Amino acid sequence: MLFLAVFCGFLAEYQLEHKIEKDRAEELAKSFYHELKNDSATAVIKVQNRIKQEEAIKYLIKYFKDSSFTSISKEFAINFAYGINFRTPSLFEPRTIILEQLKNSGSLRYFKNEELQQLIGDLTVSIKNIYDRQELESQNRLQYINPIIIDHYDYDFDARLKEGGKSIFEGIKKYEASKEIFPFQMKGAKKIDRERIINVLSFFEAAVISSTRLTFIQKYMELNEELLKELRNKYHIKD
């Protein structure tokens, strides 16, 4: 009888451990799902911002090819801001707090599903790739783009956009929508090396900005979507 009682206690504890693990897996799955869901919305916004940036750079390239800098169009000034002056709108910083917790604390083992584990591994790689790409974008910006801004951007125009305490983003949006024209003068217009700038911008647009979007952010979004689907199926999570 004594043996049976102890054995039953042991069985109960074993069962309890299973239950706790299952509960934890469900809790983590739910938190992870919400983390991914938030990020999928952010990624869409970042992609839209990147497309806008790419279009703006293409406009600048065309302008540098065949237009005059004595009287600069309003469109050029706006595209200069969206294309090379702004950096934050295109930067994507995925949320990884639950993912890191899963990895660091050894809680990944709660997810028994192999496909899920595989997807989490792939997602980790794709996030690292995004970080690497954004680091590369920063290096490119530091080396090639910032000097163009420092040499040629008109900060009097910038100051007018920010009049009344507006942020640069609010300022440019308002300016874009208005019929007003603020003068924009290219600094050092005489020493502009058109060919070099065209090459720098073409490289920045094609090999840096759009390739991050088309290859790495796109891959992240696909994995994010698959993971969300898998988590929904496996843990019956509803939006």
Partner 1 sequence: MLFLAVFCGFLAEYKLEHVIEHQREKEYANALYEELLADSVSFSNKLNARLEKEKDCDYLWSYIKDSSLTDLPKEFYPAYTTVFYLINSYSFEPKDGVLSQLKSSGSLRYFKSPALQKLFGDISVCINNVRYRNEQEYQFFANPIKPFMLKHYDFKWPDDLRKRDPNAYYLDLIREYRKGDTVIKANILNLASFHKDEAANMIMFYKTMMSSSRSLQMSDYIKTNSRLLSELRKNYNLK
Question: DSSP character for 180?
Answer: -
Q: Give the residue from 138, 156, 11, 131 showing the smallest Cα distance to 77.
A: 156
Reduce the DSSP state of residue 93 to 3 states and report it.
coil
Q: Which C-beta is closer to partner 1: that of 28 or that of 78?
A: 28
Q: Which C-beta is closer to partner 1: that of 150 or that of 214?
A: 150
Closest separation in Å from C-beta 179 to partner 1: 26
Q: Which C-beta is closer to partner 1: that of 34 or that of 173?
A: 34
Q: Which C-beta is closer to partner 1: that of 167 or that of 178?
A: 167
Reduce the DSSP state of residue 178 to 3 states and report it.
coil
Closest separation in Å from C-beta 66 to partner 1: 26
Residues that bind partner 1 (CB under 8 A): 1-2, 5-6, 8-9, 12-13, 16, 20, 24, 27-28, 31, 34-35, 38, 88, 91, 93-98, 100-101, 104-107, 138, 142, 146-147, 149-151, 153, 155, 158, 167-168, 187-188
CA–CA distance, 196 with 204 (Å, rounded to integer)? 12
The three-point CA angle 68-70-74 to 5° equals 80
Q: Tokens in use for 136?
A: 């590369």
Closest separation in Å from C-beta 60 to partner 1: 18
Residue 111: its H or E element: none
Closest separation in Å from C-beta 31 to partner 1: 5
